[in-house]
């Protein structure tokens, strides 16, 4: 198979983790006889520094021409502390999601047995958890109109959904549920929000087309609680953009660490694959970041992007083996971990 992959390392720990994702992809290419070619492009703070634009046209062009995009992270404390900054790294990420029509963000919560102890949640509560989030990614309050009054005393963001936006991601989520344990939980705040009522109505309609899937509707506040109280109750979870942002970060604690979770954004064209963790500037460049989320993003590229199931499984198996052999990065180590097996980014990357 011949595929062209665009690597967008981005900010903070982005470059150090994507380097290992890319290395694993190269290795898979060699081992399985695929021809993977690579290019690189700028996004986020590094792109603002170089060009003034968080998503330069060149990056977008390269993205459109690639078969898959491996992304790191964007963000910088400089902008976080300055709410009045007009140009921000995150705009690059939001714009590429919109431009490429990446409306469905898949976030599988994988549980590696060896990491059961790394979570703040009790192992007996976690054991057996297997959740696949479908987060809507190109609508909601993220993309609705923003206003700031002239006197700067009032600010607003429009939380808005169109029925077709809910329909297309609902179909994807139901199709996935059919392949899994046939249960889908749709999360909203329909007791308060009109956009959530449209969401619920639409999901109720679509549900009729998938009579083999059992549908549940849950309010976001309750879902945030249930997710830690009893995560096993969930299989496929379908959410709007903002609620999905919150729930999937929360769910990362189920997997032991954000450093273990990968995500795939798909939709109208080229898929976009990234760790769910952020740019983590506090540990950037210190060889401390966990490269496994980027490596697991590569597993998603192989599975979802290229349909290379065997190759994808091989990558997950390598990660599993490293963990079974007791190797950890700092974020997933606990008091029982062998101190000699706590590795830096590069060592863990090489090991896998």
Ligand X SMILES: CC(C)[C@H](C(=O)O)[C@@H](O)C(=O)O
Q: Could you tell me if 169 and 134 are in contact, meaning their C-beta atoms sit under 8 angstroms apart? A: yes
Alpha carbon distance 295, 260 (integer Å): 9
Q: Could you tell me if 293 and 72 are in contact, meaning their C-beta atoms sit under 8 angstroms apart? A: no
Instruction: Say if residue 320 carries a ligand binding annotation.
Output: no
Alpha carbon distance 152, 171 (integer Å): 41
Q: How far is the CB of 226 from its own copies (least distance, A)?
A: 9
Binding residue (CB under 8 A) for its own copies from 19, 246, 314, 351: 246
Q: Please report, for residues 226, 249, 326, the alpha-carbon distance to residue 334 in angstroms, rounded to integers and kept in the order given.
A: 25, 20, 11
| Contact stretch for its own copies (CB under 8 A) within 29-37, 100-108, 244-252, 310-318 | 244-252
Binding residue (CB under 8 A) for its own copies from 39, 113, 221, 282: 221
Binding residue (CB under 8 A) for its own copies from 193, 207, 346, 351: 193
- Residues between 63 and 82 that touch ligand X (CB under 6 A): 75
Exposure string for 188-206, b = 16+ CB within 10 A, e = fewer: bbbeebebbebbbebbeeb
Cα-to-chain-centroid distance, residue 226: 21
Task: Tell how strand 2-10 and strand 146-148 pair up.
Answer: unpaired
154 binds, among its own copies, ligand X, none (CB under 5 to 8 A by kind): its own copies
The H or E element spanning position 324 is helix 309-324
Instruction: Say if residue 135 carries a ligand binding annotation.
Output: yes
Instruction: Say if residue 221 carries a ligand binding annotation.
Output: yes
Phi-psi region for residue 44, left (φ > 0), alpha (ψ -120 to 50) or beta?
left
Binding residue (CB under 6 A) for ligand X from 155, 192, 225, 309: 192
Q: Which is nearer to its own copies, 120 or 179 (CB)?
A: 120
Question: Which residues bind to its own copies, rule: CB under 8 A?
Answer: 75, 79-81, 83-84, 88, 90, 94, 120-122, 125, 141-142, 144, 146-148, 152-164, 189-198, 200-201, 204, 217, 220-222, 224-225, 227-230, 242, 245-250, 252-253, 258, 278
Which residues sit at the interface with ligand X, rule CB under 6 A?
Answer: 75, 90, 93, 191-192, 221, 245
| Binding-site residues from annotation for Mg(2+) | 221, 245, 249
């Amino acid at each position: 198979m011949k595929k062209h992959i665009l690597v967008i390392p981005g900010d903070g720990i982005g470059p150090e983790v994507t380097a290992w994702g890319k290395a694993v992809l190269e290795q898979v290419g060699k081992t399985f006889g695929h021809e993977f070619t690579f290019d690189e492009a700028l996004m986020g703070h590094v792109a603002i520094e170089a060009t003034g634009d968080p998503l330069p046209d060149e990056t977008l062009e390269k993205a459109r021409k690639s078969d898959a995009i491996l992304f790191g992270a964007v963000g910088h404390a400089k902008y976080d502390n300055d709410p009045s900054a007009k140009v921000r790294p995150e705009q690059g990420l939001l714009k590429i999601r919109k431009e490429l029509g990446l409306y469905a963000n898949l976030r599988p919560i994988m549980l590696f047995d060896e990491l059961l102890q790394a979570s703040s949640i009790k192992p007996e509560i976690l054991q057996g958890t297997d959740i696949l989030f479908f987060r809507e990614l190109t609508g909601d309050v993220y993309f609705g109109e923003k206003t700031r009054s002239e006197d700067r005393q009032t600010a607003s963001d429009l939380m808005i959904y169109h029925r077709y936006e809910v329909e297309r991601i609902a179909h994807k989520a139901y199709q996935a549920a059919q392949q899994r344990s046939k249960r889908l939980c749709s999360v909203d705040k329909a007791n308060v929000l009109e956009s959530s009522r449209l969401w619920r109505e639409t999901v109720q309609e679509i549900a009729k087309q998938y009579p083999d899937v059992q549908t549940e509707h849950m309010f976001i506040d309750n879902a945030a609680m249930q997710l830690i109280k009893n995560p096993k109750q969930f299989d496929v979870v379908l959410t709007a953009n903002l609620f999905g942002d919150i729930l999937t970060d929360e769910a990362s604690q189920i997997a032991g660490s954000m450093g273990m979770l990968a995500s795939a954004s798909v939709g109208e064209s080229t898929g976009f694959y990234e760790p769910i963790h952020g740019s983590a500037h506090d540990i950037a460049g210190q060889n401390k970041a966990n490269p496994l989320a980027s490596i697991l993003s590569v597993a998603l590229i192989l599975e979802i992007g290229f349909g290379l199931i065997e190759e994808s499984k091989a990558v997950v198996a390598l990660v599993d083996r490293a963990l079974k052999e007791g190797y950890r990065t700092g974020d997933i180590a606990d008091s029982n971990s062998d101190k000699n097996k706590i590795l830096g980014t590069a060592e863990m990357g090489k090991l896998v």
